[in-house]
Amino acid sequence: MRLLVTGGAGFIGSNFVRQVVERTDDRVTVLDKLTYAGSRESLAGLPEDRVSLVVGDVADSELVDSLVAEHDAVVHFAAESHNDNSLVGPRPFLDTNIIGTFALLEAVRKHDVRYHHISTDEVYGDLELDDPQRFTESTPYNPSSPYSSTKAGSDLLVRAWVRSFGVRATISNCSNNYGPFQHVEKFIPRQITGLIDGIRPRLYGEGLNVRDWIHVDDHNSAVLTILESGRIGETYLIGADGEKSNREVVEALLQLFGRAPDDFEHVTDRPGHDLRYAIDATKLRTELGWTPQFSDFSAGLEDTVRWYRENEDWWRPAKAATEAKYAAAGQ
Ligand code: NAD
Ligand code: DAU
């Protein structure tokens, strides 16, 4: 199969391409704008006869049309992905997440190409800490941030293109990912790379917010499963029962670095900060038989710390500018 992977030079997309190369015979074209969040280095070492990179914008409808015409399936990861950035400058989120998805949908509609849409659990808003319910495929949409509202908008476009035009699409909404190649702006890599530099972890507010952590390889194995055997028109939630408060994550990292459990700082909270996300992935597990492989969060975190220690060349160039942005926001 010829796969077009948008955003394949970013965190989850580059790990996806690596998994595709290892587990299938597919050939992959990555379409990526190489924004601040994407880099060629994230694809280094992959076989050139299986993986090629086209540098371009998913909102460029002519480019997208010509690429889609040459492929059997599209997996759409490309997005502006960081909530904090969306609060400072929302415009690129509309351009990439909404218009970019529209351009892809029009192309897959014209060329009748299978499409898988990568989305987030943030479209459902947040839960109370003691709410026994978790998000399911029928939870109503209620996004909080410019980022999550544009992802919600993109999901709704997909649903409309399936119903109105018969586009052969599936959607997945996943919880928080961790693992190698994640940008240093995100919570876990920010704290790991800070600790490597001897900087105390930074917790927004009280640090009580809960995220449902999943290893990036588990997210991607679920995406491959849906691509291969998901039912057209369906949405699948992806999660691995990994709920942890931010404070618990920071304490686990401090332990891995041999530091005291309270050796962190509280900083200015994120405006509109979602309290808790939690995924019920029963549909994916029972219908498609998917199971996550990384059930031990501490072991996954330890591997991730090792990866950042061993790959300083990859993350160091982005670190100072990212921290300068956070400092300006009191974070
Ligand atoms: P990322 O920011 O690490 O990577 C995004 C990639 O998209 C980058 O390589 C960037 O260069 C590229 N890109 C951005 N705008 C583009 C454009 N206009 N045209 C072409 N390429 C463009 O993001 P990520 O964390 O890997 O997230 C990937 C996808 O997964 C996103 O759709 C995100 O909403 C979704 N998601 C992320 C998580 C998470 O925890 N990170 C969880 C669930 C869903
Ligand atoms: O739930 C899926 C979403 O997870 C994805 O759709 C997003 O693309 C991805 O960025 C992530 O969103 P979050 O906003 O949950 O992730 P982030 O890494 O920015 O923050 C995780 C939590 O940690 C959140 O509660 C905010 C908090 N935080 C973050 C940073 C950067 C801190 O306490 N301190 C920090 O320094």
pLDDT in tens, 224-264: 999 999 999 999 999 999 999 999 999 999 999 999 999 99
Query: String of b and e for 152-162 (b: at least 16 CB within 10 Å)?
Result: bbbbebbeebb
**Residue whose entry in the numeric block shows the structure tokens 């691509």:** 227
Residue 184 confidence (pLDDT): 98
The SS3 assignment for 273 reads coil
Whether residue 207 has its Cβ less than 6 Å from ligand 1: no
CA-nearest residue, atom 44 of ligand 1: 120
Which ligand sits closest to the CA of 331? 2
How far apart, in Å, are the Cα atoms of 199 and each of 142, 195, 234, 331? 36, 5, 44, 13
CA-nearest residue, atom 29 of ligand 1: 77
pLDDT in tens, 142-177: 999 999 999 999 999 999 999 999 999 999 999 999
Q: Give 178's pLDDT tier (boundaries 50, 70, 90).
A: very high
Q: Enumerate the active-site residues.
A: 121-122, 147
Whether residue 242 has its Cβ less than 6 Å from ligand 1: no
Residue 285 confidence (pLDDT): 98
Mean pLDDT of 107-114: 98
Residues in the chain: 331
pLDDT in tens, 49-99: 999 999 999 999 999 999 999 999 999 999 999 999 999 999 999 999 999
> Would you say 50 and 27 are in contact if contact means Cβ atoms under 8 Å apart?
yes
Q: Give 22's pLDDT tier (boundaries 50, 70, 90).
A: very high
Phi, psi values for residue 264, rounded to 5°: -135, 170
260 Cα to the center of ligand 1, angstroms: 34
Q: Give 3's pLDDT tier (boundaries 50, 70, 90).
A: very high
- Distance between CA atoms of 298 and 292, rounded to whole angstroms? 15
List Cβ neighbours of 328 (8 Å cut-off, separation of 6 or more).
Answer: none
Residue 56 confidence (pLDDT): 98
List Cβ neighbours of 102 (8 Å cut-off, separation of 6 or more).
Answer: 157
What is the position in ligand 2's atom list of the atom closest to the CA of 274? 25
Q: What is the pTM of this model?
A: 0.99
CA-nearest residue, atom 10 of ligand 2: 82
Q: So what's the ipTM on this one?
A: 0.99
Mutate to test the pocket of ligand 2, among 11, 12, 36, 83 (most ligand atoms within 8 A of CB): 83
Which ligand sits closest to the CA of 245? 2
Residue 129 confidence (pLDDT): 98
> Strand 214-215 and strand 177-178: pairing?
parallel
- Distance between CA atoms of 276 and 263, rounded to whole angstroms? 24
20 Cα to the center of ligand 2, angstroms: 26
Pocket of ligand 2 (CB under 6 A): 81-83, 120-122, 175-176, 186-187, 190, 202-204, 209, 211, 246, 270, 277
- Distance between CA atoms of 33 and 106, rounded to whole angstroms? 19
97 Cα to the center of ligand 1, angstroms: 9
Write out the H or E segment, with its range, that includes residue 172: strand 169-174
CA-nearest residue, atom 35 of ligand 1: 119
79 Cα to the center of ligand 1, angstroms: 4
Residue 171 confidence (pLDDT): 99
pLDDT in tens, 199-232: 999 999 999 999 999 999 999 999 999 999 999 9
Whether residue 117 has its Cβ less than 6 Å from ligand 1: no
